[in-house]
Amino acid sequence: MSEELKYVSVRFAETNKTYTFSTTEDGLKAGDAVVVETQRGVEYAKIVSDPFGKPNVSFEIKPILRRATAEDEKQFHRNLEDAKRAKTICQRESDKLELGMNILSAEYTLDRSKITFIYLADERVDFRELLKVLASIFHCRIDLRQVGTRDKAKMVSGIGVCGRELCCARYMGDFDRISINMAKNQLLALNTQKLSGQCGNLMCCLKYEDEAYKAMRRNLPKMNSFVEYEGNRYRITSMNVINRTCKLENQENALFLSLEDLVKKGKYQKDAKLQPKQKEEDAAE
């Protein structure tokens, strides 16, 4: 046993997010199972990195309690099976009390001192009576935790429109804020049905290329704004910043040209206010 403090990243079975713990034990490496203590209690986790130097963080890093034993692993798998039954029981008792809860998962701590139920509900739930019932059945601490639809999609997983596993289930640890302006920046049709993921909210992938689209649209006129090109006044009706092309239209003519030509030869106000037609379209959205 070495007294030198080392650090490793661990991951719990129910999440893709990694957490850092310290250890003085030699020989720990990626793939080893360990027992750690978290805010939820004593838990079983897997190391997902080789030891590294002290990270530059201001908060205290908790130590690994011990290397997991064969009995710890057996207990962990027993807990997984018992948690399935506990989930069914919790849903049954919730239905009896007509609480409108959809129980998504149940999870025991390794020492079975606490069981956490994750649930989805349309409104806040008064589950005080349910807590009493569950405590009398399981004889341990009960934690009921409400989550949103994005958390549910992360837990249940599925296949996105891209044909791959949902990003939130595959690798995302935290959720970013997604706004409809990100779709506008990418000049997408504002059809919320097509822009929504399986959780019913705007797709997380809208954020991935948002900064790139902002950069590509910098110093360009806005969609539906008016420009003067070769002595004629046109409205910009289409723009593709990937292909670097746009379409200009007026009552007599339609032009297809490159964005470079538009910037070089077109006359417009770079920070022009929205035209009345554009204001109406944005309001309708």
Per-residue pLDDT of the chain (285 residues; tens, 9 = 90+): 456 788 999 998 777 678 899 998 888 899 999 999 988 899 999 999 988 988 888 888 999 999 999 999 999 999 999 999 999 999 999 999 999 999 999 999 999 999 999 999 988 999 999 999 999 999 999 999 998 888 888 777 888 888 888 888 777 777 788 888 888 888 888 888 888 888 888 888 888 888 988 888 888 888 888 998 888 889 999 888 888 999 999 988 898 999 888 888 888 755 444 444 444 444 433
Whole-prediction pTM: 0.67
CA-CA-CA-CA torsion sign (92, 97, 101, 105): negative
Domain with CATH 3.30.300 in the chain: 74-147
Instruction: Please state, in angstroms and as integers, the Cα–Cα distance from residue 276 to each residue in 236, 251, 273, 283, following that order.
Output: 14, 18, 9, 11
Nearest to 32 by CA among 22, 51, 42, 46: 46
What is 74-147's CATH number, 1.10.3470, 1.10.10, 3.30.460, 3.30.300?
3.30.300
**103 contacts 117 by C-beta, under 8 angstroms:** yes
Domain with CATH 2.30.30 in the chain: 219-270
Tell me how crowded residue 164 is: count the other CB atoms within 10 A of its CB: 9
219-270: in CATH 2.30.30:
yes
Region for 179 from its dihedrals, namely left if φ exceeds 0, alpha if ψ lies in -120 to 50, beta otherwise: beta
Nearest to 64 by CA among 28, 109, 34: 34
